[in-house]
Amino acid sequence: MYIYKVGVVGAGTMGAQIAEVVSYSGLPVVLADVNAALAKRGVDAVRAIYQARVDKGKMSAEQLAEKMLLVSASSGLESLKDVDLVIEAVSEDMKLKAQIFHELDQICPRNTILASNTSALSISALGAATMRADRVLGLHFFNPAYVMRLVEVIPGLATTPQTIDDAVSFVESIGKLPVVVKECAGFLVNRVLMAYVNEAVRALQEGAAPLQKIDQEMVSFGMPVGPLALLDAVGLDISFEVARILYRSYGPRMTPSPLLETMVKAGRLGVKSGHGFYDYVSGEERDQDQGLERLLQEVRARTGQGASPWSQSRLLLAMTNEAVTALQEGVASAGDIDLAMMAGIGYPKDKEGPLHFADRLGVDQVLHELEDLAQTLGPRFWPAPMLRRMVDAGFTGQVAGRGFFTY
């Protein structure tokens, strides 16, 4: 089915960005929120994204005006009765989203696809709030949607292959990169990312390395931003919430670092509150401040943990191990996992993703390093069973000519 018209529910940060992406591709889009003022604020945010491009000379004022003709505001959901696809982007609240899906199910034509931009909630449960679970799926855009190419396409338990195909074609038609991901907590990218950023917080908490060193080493590896600066940008409260959802699903290996929780409770939420791992208030340079130092001492005293050793592997292999676990579970193919990590979080292109990274390092080496890390740092590093199977069968990576990929 071709998508001729799109509705976006929730005209906040993501809703406005998604509406911009859709209109930029030439499709009309209705941006709905609870009242006219909020919907208009969303439309203004779409215009601001275009205006920034005009200011940079990347598009003309006429083009801006043309694109804006495609964007309309709506208070409430009634005006979504003639759209082919709805992308829901309201706050991350299951009750609210389920209610909206229930209402959309009454309003939209039977064939309309109902998609959610949720970061971590169950797509199957949203489908169950409707009489058309076959036409419900997740379309997970990344922030900022007008920059990030990746869109995770997440079928629920009852989503039909036709709906997946329709959604994939739509994502391609708006110039984005669709990766179909089997439903699981955190889907693919946030799940693999969390294993890495949570380990970075642990390393800091345990005094393995100072803040700047942790971030700088990952930037030197090729990441666009260090893991702790990334957490500050995303918001520590949102990150902690995602960490809790992942913990509920995956258990102890995803235990949120106590430091993360302590910082959220202390109101250090990152860039938006002026303080997180870095201080964004006291001057130009982001710097570590005494407030963080006090919290670190408090958490260290409470957890009674001594200093732990630092290595880049600690972070990089936490990510690779989770990627292998996702591969084992059939969440996505090896190629798609690497593609998604490059397009979704900026995993360095020359390293080609966490599974190519393992192939280059040697799958046997990855296995041995994870075994060492499990000994020294704890069972969260227990190697994904697939690694041992691969090593036993000689799939040891690039040097052997075969690993996660064939060479």
Ligand X SMILES: NC(=O)c1ccc[n+]([C@@H]2O[C@H](COP(=O)([O-])OP(=O)(O)OC[C@H]3O[C@@H](n4cnc5c(N)ncnc54)[C@H](O)[C@@H]3O)[C@@H](O)[C@H]2O)c1
Q: Which of 32, 185, 319, 334 binds ligand X (CB under 6 A)?
A: 32
In angstroms, give the least distance from the CB of 392 to ligand X.
Answer: 39
- Kindly tell me the sign of the dihedral angle through the C-alpha atoms of 123, 126, 132, 137: negative
Decide whether 34 or 168 has the Cβ nearer to ligand X: 34
Instruction: Work out whether 258 is an interface residue with ligand X (CB under 6 A).
Output: no
User: Does 190 contact ligand X by CB under 6 A?
Assistant: no
Given the residues 102, 140, 275, 368, select the one marked as catalytic.
140
Nearer to ligand X, 118 or 273 (CB): 118
The count of chain residues that interact with ligand X, using the rule CB under 6 A, is: 22
Nearest to 8 by CA among 134, 110, 100, 99: 100
| H/E segment holding residue 190 | helix 189-205
| Burial bucket for residue 60 (CB in 10 Å: 0-12, 13-18, 19+) | exposed
Is residue 266 within 8 A of residue 295, CB to CB? The reply is: yes
Q: Which stretch binds ligand X (CB under 6 A): 117-125, 243-251, 352-360, 380-388?
A: 117-125
For 297, counting Cβ atoms within 10 Å of its Cβ (0-12 exposed, 13-18 middle, 19+ buried), the class is: exposed
Residue 125 interacting with ligand X (CB under 6 A): no
Q: Does 320 bind ligand X (CB under 6 A)?
A: no
- Cβ 147 to ligand X shortest distance, Å: 12
Q: Shortest distance, CB of residue 93 to ligand X, whole angstroms?
A: 8
Buried b (16+ CB within 10 A) or exposed e, 108-139: beeebbbbbbbbbbbbbbbbbbbebbbbbbbb
Q: What is the number of alpha carbons within 13 Å of residue 395 lying toward its C-beta?
A: 13
The amino acid present at 371, given as its one-letter code, is: E
Residue pair 8/31 in contact by the 8 Å Cβ criterion: yes
Separation of alpha carbons 256 and 247, rounded Å:
7
Could you say which residues in the range 52-111 bind ligand X, by CB under 6 A? Answer: 89-92, 96, 100
Q: Which of 1, 5, 13, 102 binds ligand X (CB under 6 A)?
A: 13
C-beta of 115 vs 370, nearer to ligand X = 115
CB nearer ligand X, residue 41 or residue 300: 41
Q: Is 140 marked active-site?
A: yes
Residues with active-site annotation: 140
Contact positions toward ligand X, by CB under 6 A?
A: 9-15, 32-34, 38, 89-92, 96, 100, 117-119, 141, 143
